Each structure stands twice: as C-alpha cells, then as structure tokens.
Amino acid sequence: MFGEIKGLNEECGVFAIWGHKDASQVTYYGLHSLQHRGQEGAGIVVSDGDKLSTHKGLGLVTKAFKEGELEKLQGHAAIGHVRYATSGGGGLLNVQPLLFQSQTSGLALAHNGNIVNANGVKSDLEREGSIFQSTSDTEVIAHLIKRSPHPTLEEQFKDALSTIKGAYALAVLTEDKLMVAMDPNGLRPLSIGRMGDAYVVASETCAFDAVGAVHEREVQPGEIVIIDNDGMRSQLFSKPADRQICSMEYVYFARPDSDVDQINVHTARKSLGKQMAKETPVEADVVTGVPDSSISAAIGFAEQSGIPYELGLIKNRYVGRTFIQPTQELREQGVKMKLSPVRGVVAGKRVVMVDDSIVRGTTSRRIVQLLKDAGALEVHVRITSPPITHPCFYGIDTSTKAELIASTHTTEEMREKMGADSLAFISIDGMLEGIGRSSQDKNCGQCLACFTGNYPTEIYEDTVHPHDKVMNS
Amino acid sequence: MFGEIKGLNEECGVFAIWGHKDASQVTYYGLHSLQHRGQEGAGIVVSDGDKLSTHKGLGLVTKAFKEGELEKLQGHAAIGHVRYATSGGGGLLNVQPLLFQSQTSGLALAHNGNIVNANGVKSDLEREGSIFQSTSDTEVIAHLIKRSPHPTLEEQFKDALSTIKGAYALAVLTEDKLMVAMDPNGLRPLSIGRMGDAYVVASETCAFDAVGAVHEREVQPGEIVIIDNDGMRSQLFSKPADRQICSMEYVYFARPDSDVDQINVHTARKSLGKQMAKETPVEADVVTGVPDSSISAAIGFAEQSGIPYELGLIKNRYVGRTFIQPTQELREQGVKMKLSPVRGVVAGKRVVMVDDSIVRGTTSRRIVQLLKDAGALEVHVRITSPPITHPCFYGIDTSTKAELIASTHTTEEMREKMGADSLAFISIDGMLEGIGRSSQDKNCGQCLACFTGNYPTEIYEDTVHPHDKVMNS
Amino acid sequence: MFGEIKGLNEECGVFAIWGHKDASQVTYYGLHSLQHRGQEGAGIVVSDGDKLSTHKGLGLVTKAFKEGELEKLQGHAAIGHVRYATSGGGGLLNVQPLLFQSQTSGLALAHNGNIVNANGVKSDLEREGSIFQSTSDTEVIAHLIKRSPHPTLEEQFKDALSTIKGAYALAVLTEDKLMVAMDPNGLRPLSIGRMGDAYVVASETCAFDAVGAVHEREVQPGEIVIIDNDGMRSQLFSKPADRQICSMEYVYFARPDSDVDQINVHTARKSLGKQMAKETPVEADVVTGVPDSSISAAIGFAEQSGIPYELGLIKNRYVGRTFIQPTQELREQGVKMKLSPVRGVVAGKRVVMVDDSIVRGTTSRRIVQLLKDAGALEVHVRITSPPITHPCFYGIDTSTKAELIASTHTTEEMREKMGADSLAFISIDGMLEGIGRSSQDKNCGQCLACFTGNYPTEIYEDTVHPHDKVMNS
Amino acid sequence: MFGEIKGLNEECGVFAIWGHKDASQVTYYGLHSLQHRGQEGAGIVVSDGDKLSTHKGLGLVTKAFKEGELEKLQGHAAIGHVRYATSGGGGLLNVQPLLFQSQTSGLALAHNGNIVNANGVKSDLEREGSIFQSTSDTEVIAHLIKRSPHPTLEEQFKDALSTIKGAYALAVLTEDKLMVAMDPNGLRPLSIGRMGDAYVVASETCAFDAVGAVHEREVQPGEIVIIDNDGMRSQLFSKPADRQICSMEYVYFARPDSDVDQINVHTARKSLGKQMAKETPVEADVVTGVPDSSISAAIGFAEQSGIPYELGLIKNRYVGRTFIQPTQELREQGVKMKLSPVRGVVAGKRVVMVDDSIVRGTTSRRIVQLLKDAGALEVHVRITSPPITHPCFYGIDTSTKAELIASTHTTEEMREKMGADSLAFISIDGMLEGIGRSSQDKNCGQCLACFTGNYPTEIYEDTVHPHDKVMNS
C-alpha cells in the first residue's frame, strides 16, 4: 500500500473541492488521506472568487502545512496535490498545484499521470517562444491552454486536451471555475463526491471518507467536468472509449478502503488471494502477507486454503524519509530497518508468503531470507500480479525494462534467485477474475500494458519514462 | 502497539551493547526497533574505554540522529534510550541516557519504569546538599550511587538499588563497565542476547532481531548483571521473588514479534482473541481489529469463532507528531485524521470489533461511531484486557483513577455510552489463560494491579504518578 | 550604507565571472561583499559549458549557501545576485538569478534596476500566450529574448533591450556565453574587472577587492558586453547618451571602499561633508555621523570645520532580520534596539549630527531625540543629500511621494518636527561639487530625479513603483 | 569591540532586573546590548515570586528568543546571560543562567569570569557525592551554596564566595531575592542602575542606555548586593581591597558607549590613541583604525598628530557565525570575507594603522598585507595595549602562553613578521595615563597581569585555562 519498500511508485494524488467555506482545510485532510500516493511534497491552491492563493511545502502534508498556514488560504474552492518521492530531484519548485498568474487572472493545475507526447509538444511550444520553468508535463498543459485561440477557458481546456496523449487525472482551478478531466482511456482513478452542498473530487474514495463526503460517481474516460456557481456540468472532449484503468491500483497502490471504479480494493485483493490459492495451492502451515499492501490478499489465501493466517512479518512504522543506512558490514550481521519476521510465528513452519508484485526482485529475495533466518522451514512465494515485463508510461515509476527481472528471467530462475521453495504469479485471467472483470470480454476494463506490452495509447519515440525526469507529476 | 490513538502510554525503551566495534550504530538500530515504546526523544552514550560520549535529540530516533552524528560516537560499548511522548513537558534536558561527568569518570543511566519512593529519597538527598537538574527518577539513582560510601561501583549500585522502590529496567554505563538491573518484582521486561561475541540488552527481543542478535535469557527480578572485559557475571541484590511482569506488555505495548518473558506477543494476543470468542461469543458477519495492537487478537477471535477476519479499519500511516487538528465544525462533518472504516467491508454487516483496552472510553466510542457511519448494522466490542480500574505507578501513563471509565461505570453503562450493540471484557482468568499463565498458581507471574488494585510494591503517600511529572523515565 | 535603519532601500547586487575554475565559489565571495545591496535572498547560476546549475536561498549569502552546496555548482562561468529585503513578499521563487530551461538550452538572468514599461510589455506578451510565474521585470526580459525572431542570442538580447525602458544593470548567462548590459542612461553602476585570466563583472568594485580582482572599466550606457571562449567584445545597442548615474549610490548605497563610475565613495562622501561645512557652518563642540553611511561625511565635516569628530552614536552590530520589537510602553521607557548615543561624548555638548538623507523623517527625529536624551545641549542636523521630493522608478524603494516628508514640508517645518536646533540640506550644486561633477555642465553625469522630478526616461501611466510589486529586482 | 576577527575573546555578559512587570522583556533588550560580550548562546530566568521559569537558546539573543517565548516568562525579576562563542563545545547545556530546581525552591546563577580554584573545589565536592552535569565553574558555586550549613541563603552565598578564588561578576536569582557579587579584586565590570522604581544590574552601562535606565554606581570589590521586596542592601564578604579591573575592557572588549568603572570607553580609547601619537609619532599621510574596536583610538591618534583620519579599512557587516571558508588557493588569489582596504584612501599613501592588541600576530600580519596590496606605500602599526606576554586566568580566552607572539618575539621580530614599516606598542604607563589612572599610584586600579605576569590572585597548579574547558562562563 505504501511505496516505501517497493521498487514501484505511484505518482501523485489529486483532491479538489468547490463550494465549502473551509475549502483549504478540507483539502488538507483529503490530501492527508491520499498521502500514500506521494510523500515528496504537498500543495494547495485556493480561490476566494477574486484571486488564487497558494501554499506548498516539501515532505508529508503534515510537514508541508504548519499551524496558521491554512488560515491564510481563505476561499470556497481549492485544489490540492501530493507528489511521490523521487530519489533526488525536485524541490519546492516541482510541488504541485502549479500556479500561473497573469495580470488579469490565475490558473492552477494539479495532475496525476504522465503525458507521453510531452516532449514533442514542448519542442513546438519552445519554438514559438514559450518559456518553461520546469520539465513538468503539467506546465505543458498550462501553455497549451494559454496559447489556445479559443475564446472561453472551457474551449481552451478542451483544445489543450486534444493535443496531449497519455494518462491524466487533472484538476484545474481559476478564480471562478473548477474543471477536472480524465484521459480518453481512463487510465488513472478520479472520483466525484458530495460533502453537503459542496462538490469534492479525489484520486481515491478514501479521501471522501476522510472528510465525511459521499461518493457519487467516477469521472469518465474522455470527460471534462466543470463546476462553478451554476453547478456541475459535463462534456466529452473525446469520443467515448472503454475504460482501461491501471491494474496496479487494485493490486498495490490504492488504499484498501478505497473503491476504485466501484470495486472495493480490500475486497479485490482478498479475491486475488483466493484466486491464487485456487491456481497454485501449496501445503503449508501458515500464510503471511508482506505489509501493508499484501495483507488483504494473504487473508484471502488463508480463507480459501484453510491454512491459518498469521502476522509473520512486522513493518517498522517509524521508518521515515531519512535515516542512517546500515553499513554493508552491519547489514551482513543482520541489521535491518524496515521489516522484521515474527520468529515465534514462522520458526519451524512452512510459510506461504503473499506479495503483490515483483519489480527488480531484490525486495522479495530479502524477505525470503528474513523468513528463513527466522527459522521458516519452507517459504512459498505467491504474487498477486502477473509478471511485470514492460515499463509503464502512464505515471508509475517501474524502472526501465532492463531492470524488470521478469522480463529477463523465467519464473524458475527468479525462484532460485530469491531462494524460495516455490514461486507462482497469478495468471492474467486470474487477476481479472479476482478484480471482478470478465476476461472473456475484449474490453476487460483494465490496462494490462506492464504485463503484455500492449499499450492503450501511442508511444512516441521520445516518450520520457517518469524515472528519467527531474519532475514527475 | 503504537500509543498514538490510545490513552495509554508506555514509558521508554532501553538498549545496551558491550563488545562491538560499532556499538553506537547497533544501538541506533536497536532503538529504532523499540521506537513504539517512546517517540519524544532518543539518546545514546558510548564508551571507548577511556571516556563517555553522548548525543541526544528530540523526536524519533531517525530525527534525533542525523548522518555523521553516529560517527562521532566511537566506542565498543553503548547504552541507548527512547522516551515516550508527553504532551508538553520535557525537552532535550529530559532525554536519556542521563550522563554525569565527574573529574575522574563518567556515569550514564537509561531507565524504563518508575520509582515510587523517589520524592522521599530526593528530599533526603536535597537536605544533604544534592542538586537536581531534573525531576527525573533516574537522577535520584545517580545521586544514590555517588553518595554511597561503598568502595566499588558495583557495591554502590547495589546500595542505591536497595534504597529505591518501584519498577525499573535499568542500564548503567561507565568507561569500563556495563551494568543492568531489574526491580525485585520484575515488573518491566529486559532481555539479554548475543551478537557474535558482543552482549546486547534490550527492553524487547524485537531489538535482537533488528540487529541480528540471538535472544539468550531474561534479566531476573532482583538481578544485577555486570558486563566488562572479564565477561558477564550476575548477582542478586534482593531476595528472589516471583516475577510479576506487567500484563499490558502482552495486551498492548510490546511489538508482536517480541517474546516477553519467553512468550511471543503475537501468539499471546491471538490466544486472547480466541479466549474472548469462547468467553463471549456473538453472532456476526465479520471480525475486525483496531490497528495496530488488536490485529492479532482479531485474527484469533476469527479463527475461534469461524467468522471471517477482515480489514474493517485502516490506520493512516502518516499521522506524525504534529498536525493541524480539524475544527469542531469539520469534525462534526466527518473529517478524521487517523482511522478510516472500510465501507466495502462493514456496510450492511454485523461487526465484531476487537480492541485491547479501554482507558477513558472516548476512543472506543469514536471507533464504534465510525463503523456505524460506514453502514455497520451492529458493532460488538470485545476488549482483550479486563476493565482497568486502578492507576499504574510502574511506568505507564494511565491517567488518574477518576479518568478511568471502568472505575466509575458498569460494563452496561460503558456499552451504552459508546453506542455498541454489545461490549465484553476478557476475564482476569481468561487473560492469564490467554497469555499462558496458570491462574491457579498464586504467583501467576503477572502484575494485575491496574485491574485489581493489588500493587506488588508499597505505594507511598507522595508517590508521583507519571502523568504529573515534568519528566518521566 | 546598510538599509536597516533607513526608509531607503537599494535593490539588488549583481556579480558575474567567466573563465575561472572555481566560478561559483568566487561568486559567493563576490556576492558576500555586495550583501549591503540586498539581504532577502541570494542565488548563483553556474555553467560548465554543457549545462546550467543553480542554487538559491533566502536570507544572507552565508545563510542561503551552506557547506557543500557550492561544490555542486561546478563550472567556469557564473552569475549571482543578492536581493533586497522587502517587508513581506517574495520567498524563494523571487530570488534571482532566474533560470529558464528549454529542452535544448538554458538562460539565466540577474538584474539590478527597474523596467518602467514592464506592465505594458507584459500585457502584450500575455495576449500572445506567455505565462509568467512571477511579477518580476526580469522574467519579462527572458520572454522578450525567447520570442525574438532574430537568429542569434546576441541579436535576440539586443531586440529585447530595444523594447524595455528604465534602469538596468543586467547579467545573462547561457551554457556558452556571458552577456552584460547597461541601460542607455547608465542609471545603475556596473563594472568590469580581471581576476587573472578570468573576467569579472560586479555592481560595485568592492567585490573586485573581495575576490582579489583588478578593476578595469565601467560598462557604458547602452552597451552590451559579450564574454565567451573567444574573449570579450562589446556593442552599443542604443545610441550613445550621457551617463546619468544614481546620485544616491554616492550618498548612501554603495560601500565606502567602492569606486562608482571611477569616483571613490568614501572620498566623495568626505567631500560632501566638507561641502556642507562650507555651505552651512555651525558653532558646535563635536561632529558625529549616523552609522554607518554617514561616518565618512562626518569626518569630512569635522576636518573642514575644525570641530572634533567623535563616535557620538553606536550601532548595535547584532540587529538581524528578525527580533522581538519592544512594546510601545517599553519604547516610551527608553528601550531601543539599534542605535545608542555615547553619553560620555555628547552630554553637555553642542552636536553636529551628519546624516545622508531624509525620507519619511521619522528616523532623524528619533536620533535627535536620542542625542538630546543623552544630554546633548544642541543638535544641528546636516543632510548630505538635497531634499528628496520625488519617488524613484529606477530600482530604489523610496516610498510614494506622499510619504516623502520633503515633498510636503519646508525645511523649517521639518526641523521643528524633528526637534533639531538647526537643519540644513546640501544644495544640488554642492552635492555635484562634492561628488566631483561640474554643475556647470548640462550633462552632469548624475540622475537627480528624486530631487528635481526630471526623470531621464519616459514614465508610463502604469509604471509600477517598486514598493507596490510583490517582486522587485 | 566584537571578537570576531580577534584571537581574544571576552567571556560573557550579565544582566539582572528587580521590580519591573516586564522583567524578561527588559532583560532581552539588555542582553541584546551586551551581545558583543558573547554570541554562543543566551538565556533568561525569571521569577514571579512563586517560581522560576527559564528559556535558553543557542546563537544571538535575537535567535535564541523567538516571538512568544518572552511572553511565557512572566515575572517581576530576572537574570540573563550571553555566552561567548567557543569553537566547538558547549551546546544548550552550557548556556546560562544555570537553573537548579529542588523540591522546594529554585536557584539560578549567571556568571562572568573564571574561578581559578574550581578544579580543587570540585574534587572535594565530588568526593562528598556531588554530581556535576557540566564542567562549569558556575555549577561549583551552586553546589557550594547548597552544601553550606548556614541557615539563610545570604549566609550560604557568602560561605560559597569565601571558598572560591578568581574573577567573578555574579548574579543569583531565587523566587524572592536577587543577589549580585563582585570578586575581591573587582576584576570584571558590574554596574547598578535604576529604571523607574526597578533595580537593574549589568556588565556594562551600555545596557542601561539600551533600556532607558540610569547608571547609579559600580558593584564594589568583595561586595554582595541583595535586592528583594525590602529594597537594596549591601555587605562586604571580604576585606576591602583596591580594585584591579581588567585593562582589556577599556582597550578592546567594552562598547565605546559604556562607562567602565566610571570612565567612558570611547574617551579612554581616544586618549590611548593620543598617547600613542605622543609616545611613537610617525610621518604619514593618513590614520586608519582596525574596525570596530580601534576606531576611537585612531581618531585620537589623528587628532593628536594632525594626520587626517580616514576609513582605510571596511569591515563586512554580514559576517555571521557560519560561512564557507575560502580554499587556500582562493585565499592566495586574494579572496577575503571580513575586512577590505579602501583602495581610494590608502593607495600611494603612508598609512598609520591603529590596532588594539596583538595576540598571535596572524591577524595583524594579514591586515598589513591587505593595505600593502591596496597600494599603501608604508604601513605603521600602532598598538594601544602593551605586549601581551602572559595568559589570562580571569575570564578571557587569550590562548596559552606559547601562542602569545609577544612572549617569544621582540617587537622588531614581530614587525618583520607582519611586514610593517614600523611597529610600536603603548607603554604600560602610557596606557594607564590614557585610561586616566595614575601610574604613580601603587594601586593603579587596573589588572595588568597579561602584560606583567603579576596575577592579583593565587594561581593554582591545576588552574584551568578557559581555552581548555568544554564550558566557560
């Protein structure tokens, strides 16, 4: 659930609200509940009808916003954003929402996703004299809006969206209008809810629960939703397509209490675990999950197999963003920071270890080793996603293809490398079944690109992988 | 497990090591694994044989120690300490270990527990001209050692221990000696392990796993263990008594992967859950535990009852020490920071909510409300400790008696107040059974004072409750 | 000299270097010597031939750059900037140099001065789709460069300069070129020096002394100087005009050890003091200057008049940017933070108090009061600039006209208000004489706009006073 | 005046007040005016009659105390302290006032000076069981007070003072009493003033001017002054001796606007300069002083000699406590941080450079070099103190004897080393004359130990030089 241990990183969470007198405060709590989607920085832009105001900060929402700073952000509408932790780059400049002030009006954007033709569009814009302060996709969108010859902001926004390709869940705020949009394939999640009379929009529905709002519906692929003093209205800026939402949202990213495209994440994960137990059963004494994202699946595996579920691995809750790394020497002596095996649970036992995915394979190897060191007789690894063999260009930092162990190793080779007694991945059909989609249906509703290489959009020659950008969004 | 949601707070964790060239680094990782026992501050004192050096800081271990600071703490022996988060008081002065430098030698102390006759002893010492820089019990012990007329440090230490009453797991470091001691009733946990040739001592065995050490044995009630260049030796400074270890270590404080007095905490908690299912069964659709400390018990309850275990409550992992509190108005609209119900799991269901204890009752009431708001048809609360009716004087901050709801309300009154459909506490015998103690045995091995008011030590008129001190230890 | 006590604030200092392997380090020390020109923030952009890198920070140079940060700025060419302290606005976004990265190249700008037609130009640019991230004039220049249809950077730069009106000493850095430019009236100072083989450029020559460079010449009005691997070359982008450099640089802003347009500042100030003693002599016992900017003039006044020069006022060196202001009540009891009279020097004496300028008049009144409270029998105020009656639009924050006491009061009214026994301002001719210019010459070489209202450039209707901008440069 | 450039460091400033409703605020401003006596840390202890409260911080007063912290320090009496900047050691623990809380009352101490028999006394105390948390002399005094068998605090204080030897200007605060004391030789300054009905005490009288108080008298050698609700009274705890106040207070440490032992410091310094001009006249074109401490003397030298006084050296006002040091290579290229020559003033001139003292000689050499590099034809160094040949044990950090260049070199050798054209020190008689003391009088009123080696107190074998202590006071 939280990317700290993984080689897989979600990129950002978006929250927006219209029509609430404490818009910035509500956004703060909404962003806090989306914190698992990004920990590098957080920002809020608020409108009071006359002007936009903003505050941004590095680190967690609770660090970026200190007492008193919310009070300065007065207004009835706001958009907010949490950014995921890139290794080095970034800094405050890259924290969203981006706010562009002209002499007459302001424009703020918050974006989750990745624009695959950003480089080409940017080159065109630069040739015409545009200046960029960042390498962010989001800034490209702002320029496209401002350069559009259309007379109204809504038209300009649609014009801009017709130029960009890729994945986006976008929120745009001006002094008198909130607009949100979803890419034509619906690759990233974005939901609409109501909080009393106010409208709220969020990357995940857990944010609605956090602020006491009620979930109403999903933003649809290719849809723009406009909210202003006349209420909410909707348009399609692109011909309707079948949704292909990112499968890893169910498997790994989203919070268990969120409903993604109307499917509860905990329930989906539990089904994935059950499905695995059916596909690749194993004789064992205990089932354990790698915290936090695989707990639900482990419970499902246990329920289906009849093998008791136990806390076999404990995650240290206090691992923050900065700590002193153990030296190689101490690591070899067994010093560890994040994950501990529960000796009393696994010693002398045959353990089923349920995990959600394998990226580079190093984490899995380390966990298998932990369990064996703690006395596990056998470790059977069950992965609730199919092998990841292709990079993602839609907003997930999965490293390059060469780094994806499943693209260069067979399952048996991986098993051997990680020292497991058995290793199995869920099948693609099994995963779809677990999530609740019909694999029979040509349009299964899910993006499977990282498992199959069939990307739902064109991929340009100079498509930039998020990993290679100074600033992702 | 982590005191953030509770009205119940553990007080401190101790780690010590002798005979390792990277003593301060190992202590850092050891303390990190004991972080759940205290988050206010952390400190390390290290000896290189000639002198003692120290660094302390406020906040989590990873905040208190920044890159480079460990390198300055060179030596082969170290003691470290994590302090629990008091609301206001404290500051850097109160972070342990306390280090006292005389012109010829140094003396460092790290303490978990509470001295019940501290005030009286202190008055005596002040009358003789002693100056105290804090209100800490630990400083009292240092003065007693220094004032002892005995010729050797070991004798002085025993002399000091013979004066103090209460609960203590103590580690003392000088340039050439590490000494640890346990109070005669063995109220707090303290274990000894080996890490290669080095000796390690820790409040919980999870610290041994974190540093790759092997658990060897418990420090015994009334025992002093001395470790120096001649190896390890032991003495009893008090006549042997039966151990009466704090029951709440099993129920709430310790990490599930620790063995406390040779009993694994996760396993004990699971048994408590099973025991509850036997004692007070209920018809329901799902079992859920309040994270993190009640997860194990909920799994046990589910296993025993056959009702499926689910993640019905999600804890926000990013709640730090400081954040902006929602206004009353927003709270009433449903804004929450810490705990979210999983609507998809509990809506339309009869829910068994397993929790570990009730102190003031406010948290339980809030959680029941959360579940009902998320659509739970019924909420059946099962508490895996007996009603807490008496304050603790041995190092746990349980508030005063008047604030303990169970000391003034019947179970039915409490149930009504919290809006639950049923409420049950485990019986004392059931708890002992769950932990694995025989209740038949007069000396059950557990301190039950907070349930019974039978305190294992004398309680003095001016015994200070930890809650009322500027500085606890 | 240092704007802390004054209502008069210089706006920024610029430093640049080409051809030194430690370009960023040298810039750091150069900026440090220009610190009196701006204390809000500091930044450096460095080129290694391939790319531009930057670091910026708030506060003094020594705060903005911490150990290790300079090492990351590797390259042989750099530009740097210090910003003056606005009351509230600004923040890191506004710290210069501004750096604009396109996909193919970077462009960095550091600017001292003020563009008087910035608003109009900006409106034009926004209508064409330009997006601004700040309200800075400097960003306008960057857009003009990028939008210029000319094929080379030098042509584009000249094109941009032909559009803007006002005062500017500009430094522009790309990967392979350093360009500096001076406005056609030469309103602000900018000098060129050599440091071994390297070229250095600075707002004041004191920066050359600070880094061991040798002063060579001034950048001329309307001149662009280009420095790259082919050496240094120069062009005029505007028809030659007579220089009209800001008079207040001599009177108040520049450091005494700087030569401004080839005239040493200390020497000029001393002459101003002598001139005053000739114009408005007075019978007195001691001469004292308001530290630090009026010390030189006071020495001159003493030398000319034969009245001994004394330290009659002491400035507290430790007044930083933030401190707790005394309450009104304490202020009335005599509590003061910045300036103390030397009782032993002024008590029972007739004091000549030399100061450089009067803006709102409040500071002068306070100082006269201080001296009287310390026992001065008489206080004769001598001001080494003529009355300031008009606002400055060229980069100095002199408040609005209404706030300029000399625009609404006679000298006698001002004397009375400040409680002085006599008050005299230097005459315009006397000031020119003191600085060493001939007042006979129609083109005296100095801008006198703030004394006469004769502005050397057009002033647009919407010319923004620096005081009213979020971000000055 | 400010120790930043010197190898000579004053140790601490003391401020106290009784009977003012804003006691802590007034102390803040008083300490701010004493900032030149210590920049490492600052602290205040306040009494409201019932209890003592404190706040301390590292760095300048304005950094140590942030908005709001003074408001928490409510009370009518306070003592405060500023500490001088030791190279490494210290930290918050060492910032004074030290506050000792017993169960019944508090005791706070602030100390300027050095106890020469501290080590011996401390050993005795430790043998009796005293525990020290620092190596501070001040803590020794607290222990002596607490251990004294006398019945009243005043008696206990006198008892403690009778044991210690050395230099001290001390302020002690309890809930209901303020006591100040001066060592029997009166080595350090301490003055008493009135601020309305309130009593104020300060190391220098400039603090009285800063808070609007009136200077009344000096604390006398061997005197204790007690101030409480019954008013002020005084006792001698030691037989009256002639005062021997530190000569360097006049020459270097004190602020020019202070009166030390009733002599104005600026006036004394000016006389020292005149005296030098008489003793060792020289043909030259300009006189300049090393800022800030030698400005007054340079003015005197100029006045006496008829050679014009000029600003030949400019000190960068923005050199803070931390900055990035130039590399050796850059230093050789002429990069400098602190002091700049005014080329226009010294080039082609014969310069008299007046400085106050020579400790290790390195600073003087560097300044002579600066002036020559800027074109000075000749540099004649005039030092307004006699050669410092012996270390100080009374609170000044003059390095050890071996480091004092005058103890191992003749004047001619020193001249040669520093590259000056002439070098002269003031004579001891000349210095006394300049300060206004009669050298005829056996008891000249001044401590001359650092020039003569005649220490006014016993010096013990284990007397600790301030330089060698972790914590000075």
CATH of the domain at A302: 3.40.50.2020
Task: For residue B94, give the chain D residue with the closest CA.
Answer: D93
Is A228 in the same domain as A318?
no
Q: Do chains C and A touch, with touching meaning 3 or more CB–CB pairs less than 8 Å apart?
A: yes
Strands A350-355, A378-383: pairing kind: parallel
Is A81 in the same domain as A124?
yes
Name the D residues in 138-197 with CB < 8 Å from any B CB.
139, 142-143, 146-147
Q: What is the pTM of this model?
A: 0.86
Nearest beta carbon to residue B142 from set D119, D131, D139 = D131
Name the A residues in 199-258 with CB < 8 Å from any C CB.
none
Q: Find the distance separating the first CA and the last CA of chain D, reported in whole Å.
A: 19
Q: Does any domain span residue B134?
A: yes
Q: What is the dihedral of CA B351, B356, B361, B364, to 10 degrees?
A: -30
| H or E element, residue A63 | helix A61-64
Amino acid of residue A360: R
Tell me whether residues B320 and A63 touch, CB distance under 8 A. Answer: yes
**Per-residue tokens: D98:** 């030290």
The beta strand positions in C102-260, using DSSP E, are 106-115, 166-174, 177-182, 191-195, 198-202, 214-218, 223-228, 231-236, 245-246, 259-260
Tell me whether residues A310 and B299 touch, CB distance under 8 A. Answer: yes
Segment among C452-456, D92-96, D287-291 with least mean pLDDT? D92-96
Q: What is the pLDDT of residues A47-67, one digit of tens each?
A: 999 999 999 998 899 999 987
The confidence score (pLDDT) of residue D471 equals 31
A355 is in an annotated binding site: yes
Q: What is the pLDDT of residues D226-235, one digit of tens each?
A: 999 999 999 9
The confidence score (pLDDT) of residue C9 equals 54
Is C235 in the same domain as C274?
no
- Cα of D238 vs its chain's centroid, Å: 24
Dist CA B349 CA B340 (whole Å): 16
The confidence score (pLDDT) of residue A86 equals 46
**Per-residue tokens: A207:** 């944010």
Q: What is the pLDDT of residues D124-154, one digit of tens each?
A: 999 988 988 776 788 999 999 999 999 999 9
Chain C residues close to D310, C-beta within 8 Å: 266, 270, 299
The confidence score (pLDDT) of residue B89 equals 46
Q: Does any domain span residue A151?
A: yes
Dist CA A441 CA A433 (whole Å): 11
Q: Does any domain span residue B309?
A: yes
Tell me whether residues B103 and D92 touch, CB distance under 8 A. Answer: no
By three-state DSSP, how is residue A370 classified?
helix
Would you say D197 and D18 are in contact if contact means Cβ atoms under 8 Å apart?
Answer: no
Best mutation target among A93, A99, A131 (most C Cβ atoms within 10 Å) is A131
The confidence score (pLDDT) of residue C6 equals 43
Task: Say if residue A19's pLDDT is above 90.
Answer: yes
Residue with tokens 């992965």, as numbered in its chain: A383
Strand ranges across the sheet with C98-101: C98-101, C106-115, C166-174, C177-182, C223-228, C231-236
A38: domain CATH number? 3.60.20.10
Is D285 in the same domain as D204?
no
Is B225 in the same domain as B138?
yes
Q: What is the pLDDT of residues D454-471, one digit of tens each?
A: 999 988 766 655 544 433
- Residue D177 distance to chain B (closest CA, Å): 19
Chain A residues close to C128, C-beta within 8 Å: 129
- Residue D28 distance to chain C (closest CA, Å): 9
Task: For residue A139, give the chain C residue with the closest CA.
Answer: C131
Dist CA C156 CA C244 (whole Å): 26
Tell me whether residues B146 and D129 touch, CB distance under 8 A. Answer: yes
Count of CB atoms situated within 10 Å of the CB of D185: 23
D340 is in an annotated binding site: no
Catalytic residue numbers of D? 12
- Cα of A14 vs its chain's centroid, Å: 10
Neighbours of chain D (3+ CB pairs under 8 A): B, C
Share of residues in chain A with pLDDT > 70 (%):
91
Single out the residue in A203, A226, A241 at which a domain terminates: A241
By three-state DSSP, how is residue D193 classified?
strand
Name the A residues in 41-100 with CB < 8 Å from any C CB.
92-93, 100
Task: Say if residue D305's pLDDT is above 70.
Answer: yes
Q: What is the pLDDT of residues D368-393, one digit of tens each?
A: 999 999 999 999 999 999 999 999 88
Tell me whether residues D299 and C311 touch, CB distance under 8 A. Answer: yes
φ and ψ at residue A293, rounded to 5 degrees: -75, -20
Neighbours of chain C (3+ CB pairs under 8 A): A, D
Tell me whether residues A22 and B330 touch, CB distance under 8 A. Answer: yes
Task: Say if residue A406's pLDDT is above 70.
Answer: yes
Measured between alpha carbons, how far is residue C440 from residues C242, C245, C426, C444, C457 in Å?
15, 17, 17, 8, 22
The confidence score (pLDDT) of residue C4 equals 34
Q: What is the greatest pairwise CA distance in chain D?
A: 72
Dist CA C293 CA C299 (whole Å): 12
Is B72 in the same domain as B179?
yes
Residues 6 or more apart whose CB falls under 8 angstroms from that of A198 comprise A17, A18, A19, A20, A23, A26, A213
Nearest beta carbon to residue D132 from set B92, B102, B122 = B102
The confidence score (pLDDT) of residue C439 equals 66
Strands A223-228, A231-236: pairing kind: antiparallel
Q: What is the pLDDT of residues A257-294, one digit of tens each?
A: 999 999 999 999 999 999 999 999 999 999 999 998 99
D357 is in an annotated binding site: no
Per-residue pLDDT, averaged over A170-193, amounts to 97
Q: Does any domain span residue A109?
A: yes
Spans in chain C with pLDDT lower than 50 = 1-7, 86-89, 467-473
Strand ranges across the sheet with C77-83: C52-58, C41-47, C77-83, C13-18, C198-202, C191-195, C214-218
Would you say A110 and A14 are in contact if contact means Cβ atoms under 8 Å apart?
Answer: yes
Nearest beta carbon to residue A143 from set C103, C131, C135 = C131
Is A127 in the same domain as A174?
yes
Amino acid of residue A307: I
Please state whether the peptide bond connecting residue D291 to the residue before it is cis, i.e. omega within 30 degrees of 0: no
Q: Does any domain span residue A6?
A: no
Q: Find the distance separating the first CA and the last CA of chain C, reported in whole Å.
A: 19
Best mutation target among D52, D103, D131 (most B Cβ atoms within 10 Å) is D131
Give the burial string for B95-133 (b: 16+ CB within 10 Å, else e).
bbbbbbbbeeebbbbbbbbbbbbbbbbbeebbeebbbbb
Domain of residue B458: give its range.
264-472
Neighbours of chain A (3+ CB pairs under 8 A): B, C
Is C229 in the same domain as C344?
no
Chain D residues close to B131, C-beta within 8 Å: 100, 102, 130-131, 139, 142-143, 146
Number of domains in chain B: 2
Task: Say if residue D247's pLDDT is above 60.
Answer: yes
Is D79 in the same domain as D178?
yes
A103 or B280, higher pLDDT? B280
Q: Does C325 touch chain A (CB under 8 A)?
A: no
Task: For residue D260, give the chain C residue with the closest CA.
Answer: C344
Is A464 in the same domain as A357?
yes
Is C169 in the same domain as C230?
yes
Would you say C316 and C345 are in contact if contact means Cβ atoms under 8 Å apart?
Answer: no
Catalytic residue among A8, A12, A282, A471: A12
Q: Does any domain span residue C145?
A: yes
Instruction: From A222, A317, A301, select the one nearest A269 (Cα to Cα).
Output: A301
Per-residue pLDDT, averaged over B371-389, amounts to 97
B399 or B105, higher pLDDT? B105
Task: Say if residue B134's pLDDT is above 80.
Answer: no
The confidence score (pLDDT) of residue D88 equals 37
Catalytic residue among B5, B12, B248, B298: B12
Single out the residue in C241, C276, C300 at which a domain terminates: C241
Residues 6 or more apart whose CB falls under 8 angstroms from that of B446 comprise B244, B245, B246, B247, B432, B435, B437
Single out the residue in B241, B273, B292 at which a domain terminates: B241
Mean pLDDT across chain B, nearest whole number? 90
Which ipTM score applies to this complex? 0.89
Dist CA A276 CA A295 (whole Å): 14
C356 is in an annotated binding site: yes
**Per-residue tokens: B81:** 């300490």
Q: Does any domain span residue C292?
A: yes
Is B315 in the same domain as B408?
yes
Q: Does any domain span residue B435?
A: yes
Instruction: From A77, A393, A30, select the one nearest A213 (Cα to Cα).
Output: A30
Task: Say if residue D437's pLDDT is above 60.
Answer: yes
Please state whether the peptide bond connecting residue B386 to the residue before it is cis, i.e. omega within 30 degrees of 0: no
Tell me whether residues D209 and C292 touch, CB distance under 8 A. Answer: no
Dist CA B18 CA B174 (whole Å): 11
The confidence score (pLDDT) of residue B323 equals 77
Per-residue pLDDT, averaged over B231-238, amounts to 94
